[in-house]
Amino acid sequence: MAASDTIIDLNQKAVRLLREDADKIEKLIAIQMENLTTRKCPLYEEVLDTQMYGFSRAVDFAVRTGLVEEGAGKLLISQLERNLAILYEALERKEE
């Protein structure tokens, strides 16, 4: 296996693992969206914020090591941020 093949394999594995982590966070968001009948839960928000921070650090590490292209990393983070924004907007509307 050539060095370039190894780099491509590592890149694909890193993106796959990050996507799996992103999917887990999205599932947390989906669970909260399903439970909008309850009041906004600060603890749940804290967990989501902590998960997002950890995910952004993992993406930053992957980008800095060259395992993931910067654009791909930013895309993963922005997708999750959009989902969080939708969640928070829905929670605010529910409380009104």
- pLDDT, one tens digit per residue, over 36-59 is 655 566 777 787 788 899 999 999
Task: Provide the mean pLDDT of the chain.
Answer: 83
Query: What would the two tokens of residue 24 be?
Result: 């887990």
The residue type of 23 is D
Angle between helices 3-34 and 42-64 (to 10 degrees): 170
Specify the pLDDT at position 36: 61
Specify the pLDDT at position 73: 94
Domain boundaries, the chain: 3-95
pLDDT at 61 > cutoff 80: yes
Residue 55 parent element (H or E):
helix 42-64
Specify the pLDDT at position 13: 93
Architecture of domain 3-95: Orthogonal Bundle (1.10)
